[in-house]
Amino acid sequence: MPRYLCLLESGLRPSKYPAMASLSHRQGWSLAVLLAIFPCLLCARAENDAPKITYRTGTSEVRVTFFATDQNNHLVQPIDRNDFAVVDGDMIVRDFRSLTRSDETRLDIVVLVDASESVAPRFHAIAEQVLRLISHKHAGDDLSIITFAGLRPALLCTADCSRANTENKIRSLTPAGATPLFDSLAFSGRYIADRHTPGVRQVLILLSDGNDTISGTSARQAMDSVIGTGALLYTVNSNKPAHDVKGSFVLAEMAEATGGRSFSAQEDAADVLETALADLRASYVVTYPLPSQTAGFHSLRILPKHNLNLRFHCRRGYFYDEGR
């Protein structure tokens, strides 16, 4: 049954990454209705069209990292174990082994910049946003920049991107060519996976209009690559939402799939980085025994128990391999 959720729930991290989940909700009943009728805009694929990458967890304990916001999208803390329940597949989990604050304190930031022809009228503003983001990077955090246009993405600078050694490179870019958005997300996923360091939260910030015109990688494969790293994806729409509803929807859904957030063209990328830092500091890790040893994909969502205005941001599932 083709649903957009099949794209976003189709991949998770390899076994070396903790299983996490993501979901947006207002009320349990409305959630069920939405999942039943939501059309698949990016992934009208057959059930047997499996991702090329298989993500597994072989542990008997599930670890879910999340943060919560209210109806105004403001962070909510503290969170108590009585505030929420986890739905793992078709089983409701209320009894947890532990609930602790996340101890990840550093960021490894990758900024993915659309430099294709479709963003040309707004590229000057995009370049300025990237430079402000670099200026607001906290000491001790790493930052890399990847640009994409034409046939393939390009690594502009690695880990130590400072304004001094990056400004001329950013300002000299001339937006042109097709938009390999999904190829570039897959490239970024591989780059992030190679840089994984325990205790460091990885964040991917995408500045784009959300449209792809040339990629050989499908949307599902691209999201498999990103979700598999455990990185949070934050998207900044370079277009005005009223001008491109589809692009806005794609960016929002991709961010939600990883437990990240999406922002409009009016938001400054530096503010997005501060939001990511705030989300990191407000994150919790909940653990509970594996409720079912059925091999395959286990969907995950977190629902409020009392305050229905709470919205939990986390990843959407994990694969369990009973042989591991």
On whether both 96 and 110 belong to a single domain, the answer is no
On whether both 289 and 301 belong to a single domain, the answer is yes
Give the rounded percent of residues in the chain with a pLDDT score beyond 90. 52
pLDDT digits 0-9 by tens, 216-261: 999 989 988 898 888 999 999 988 755 678 888 999 999 998 889 9
How deeply is 245 buried, as exposed, middle or buried, from its count of CB atoms within 10 A (0-12, 13-18, 19+)?
exposed
On whether both 112 and 167 belong to a single domain, the answer is yes
What DSSP element (H or E) covers 31?
A: helix 28-37
Say which CATH number the domain at 179 has.
3.40.50.410
On whether both 224 and 291 belong to a single domain, the answer is no
On whether both 252 and 289 belong to a single domain, the answer is no
pLDDT of 12 > 80? The answer is no
On whether both 90 and 231 belong to a single domain, the answer is no
pLDDT digits 0-9 by tens, 64-108: 899 999 999 899 999 999 999 999 999 999 999 999 998 877 899
On whether both 154 and 185 belong to a single domain, the answer is yes
Q: Which domain holds residue 165?
A: 106-280
On whether both 219 and 306 belong to a single domain, the answer is no
Q: Say how many domains are in the chain.
A: 2
Using DSSP, state whether 277 is helix, strand or coil.
helix
On whether both 113 and 214 belong to a single domain, the answer is yes
* Rounded Cα–Cα distance for residues 320 and 245 (Å): 36
On whether both 111 and 123 belong to a single domain, the answer is yes
Residue 295: what pLDDT? Answer: 83
On whether both 123 and 238 belong to a single domain, the answer is yes
pLDDT digits 0-9 by tens, 38-65: 333 333 333 333 333 333 444 688 988 9
On whether both 112 and 229 belong to a single domain, the answer is yes
Note the pTM of the prediction, 2 decimals: 0.77
Q: What is the mean pLDDT of residues 277-300?
A: 88
